[in-house]
Structure 1
Amino acid sequence: MNEQLPTSDLKEYGIMSEDNTFSKRLSNKDIENFLKGHAMIADNGKDRLIFLLTDNNTRLNVNLYQRDKTIDEIVKQSQKKIVYSQLNELTNSKSIDIEKKAFIYDQKTQQVTEYDLLKDTEKIAQVVAEKKDIQESNRFKNELLKLKGYLQDKIDKFPEIGKEITNNLNIVSKTISTIDDATPNESQSQKQQQSKLRLDVNDDDLYQDANRHREREEQQEQEQHRHRGFRR
């Protein structure tokens, strides 16, 4: 099988060694999947290379992406919150693969998992909902709104692939609606705050305590006035 492989290209990217064997950094499972047509991903700093064998494993297809954060930054930040990162493809401007990623840290396994904002939107939404954090929900919604804007621009530029982009737009819009239904809006938050304030004002014990405190102060002032008048 190795005789058919594009060995020169594979060596150029470090996938194969000079002796025509696969890199020792790859597991047997990685190699097996690669030869079966699965993509191989290599991250280095902000760059991501995706390798794919085509034409009966005789040709190596390479796509180059660049993200807005380094992989080290993402791993570090994801321990505190969900990290969103945009991957810009530098190889093919007409690609409809929306490379918007979410990186989620699992406290139990202490591992960071990468999710695609489109393909894994339900999983991300579930994680966000479990956090019960309005700020986290709003961050997720903002990322989806950015993605929606990107898709809308894409459909205008490439109407020939409009059907697939429209399907993606529907997924994003549905998820945004779900977030809106599950997240208290600003008006509801203000009502909750006003309700708390009214409880404080209408609390009889608090109100009476404050009155008693003022009455004591007034009595003390009157006593002081009487004492001062007596000394004169």
Structure 2
Amino acid sequence: MQTNNLPIDDLKKYGIVDADNSFSKKLSANDIQKFLQGYTIVADKDKSRATFQLVENNSRLNVIFLERDKSISEILTNSKDKIEYSNIQDFSKSDNELNFEKKAFVIDKETNKLVEFDLIKNARELTSIIVDKNDARETNRYKIELLKLKGFLQDKIDQFPEMAKEITNDLNIVSKEINTVNGVSQNESNSQKQEQSEVQLNVNDPDLYQDANRIREEELEREENYEKSRGFRR
């Protein structure tokens, strides 16, 4: 890990290093250590996002500017009640590259922190989280986002034939998660139908109906005998 050839001017430009050449007080010792090891620093403001990463043996700062379709405050507010989805565009990429990502934002109940998942890179983990929620509404919302992403990727195969293999790999990942969600939805539907069937059986079962009538007739007969024994007449 090299620290003597850091791009100090660029680090100062983006506020990562202060005027006295020390790292910003906004960064923890752990943040700084990970940054020097190649991890990315992410800065969010409104709909904008900037990522900073040291590359080329820590001699160059790689900066990427992204734009979301929703502000970070909107995402934080909405994610309190549901999983929030957002599209992100990477403006550092050329017109010949894919510059689109779809993210899901989930509140971690244990830490109460907002966690970001990529619908392709973190597909299996995200699907597992949503399935574990056992919430048909959330499952359906997730499926809709996957279908949107699938349609986008299918369009891009024709637009970027030179990237067809890479896009097809992403498309296969998304299709697999859609199949998983469909399987979960089918199981939920079958379970509901089974419950309804059992209820209808209890109501319409002729044996149960006849038993109920027989019991009622026996009760009436006992009442009549009791009244007769006391000299009453209907």
TM-score bracket, normalised by the shorter chain, equals: 0.7 to 0.9
Cα distance, 1:97 vs structure 2? 6.8
Q: 170, 173, 183: which is aligned to 1:181?
A: 183
Judge conservation of contact 1:96–1:165 (CA < 8 Å) in 2: no
The alignment of Structure 1 onto Structure 2 pairs a total of residues equal to 210
Residue of structure 2 in register with 1:72 after alignment: 73
Q: How does 1:55-204 map to 2 (within 5 A)?
A: 55-93=56-94, 94-96=96-98, 98-184=100-186, 195=197, 202=204
Residue of structure 2 in register with 1:29 after alignment: 30
**Structure 1 pair 186/22, CA: closer, same or farther in 2 (3 Å)?**
closer
**Structure 1 pair 29/107, CA: closer, same or farther in 2 (3 Å)?**
closer
Q: State the TM-score, normalized to the length of structure 1.
A: 0.77
- Give, in whole Å, the separation in 1 of the partners of 2:21 and 2:162: 42
Cα distance, 1:65 vs structure 2? 0.6
2:135 partner amino acid: D
- Give, in whole Å, the separation in 2 of the partners of 1:29 and 1:160: 40
Deviations 1:98-132 (A, max 9, x none): 52111111333322211111111111111111122
Deviations 1:204-227 (A, max 9, x none): 799x99xxxxxxxxxxxxxxxxxx
Cα distance, 1:171 vs structure 2? 0.7
Cα distance, 1:196 vs structure 2? 8.1
Cα distance, 1:49 vs structure 2? 0.4
Deviations 1:31-87 (A, max 9, x none): 222222222211112111011222332222211111122222212211211111111
**Structure 1 pair 38/108, CA: closer, same or farther in 2 (3 Å)?**
closer
- Give, in whole Å, the separation in 2 of the partners of 1:24 and 1:128: 37
- Give, in whole Å, the separation in 2 of the partners of 1:107 and 1:180: 26
- Give, in whole Å, the separation in 2 of the partners of 1:190 and 1:108: 31
Residue of structure 1 in register with 2:225 after alignment: none
- Give, in whole Å, the separation in 1 of the partners of 2:29 and 2:3: 15
Give percent identity, aligned residues only. Answer: 50
Judge conservation of contact 1:50–1:62 (CA < 8 Å) in 2: yes
- Which 10-residue stretch deviates more, 182-191 or 144-153? 182-191
- Which 10-residue stretch deviates more, 3-12 or 115-124? 3-12
**Structure 1 pair 190/22, CA: closer, same or farther in 2 (3 Å)?**
closer
Deviations 1:143-169 (A, max 9, x none): 111111222222222222222211111
1:150 partner amino acid: F
Judge conservation of contact 2:105–2:115 (CA < 8 Å) in 1: yes
Q: What runs of 5+ residues in structure 2 fail to find an aligned partner?
A: 214-234
**Structure 1 pair 42/100, CA: closer, same or farther in 2 (3 Å)?**
same
- Give secondary structure in 2 for the equivalent of 1:17: coil
Residue of structure 2 in register with 1:38 after alignment: 39
- Give secondary structure in 2 for the equivalent of 1:99: strand
- Give, in whole Å, the separation in 2 of the partners of 1:132 and 1:20: 51
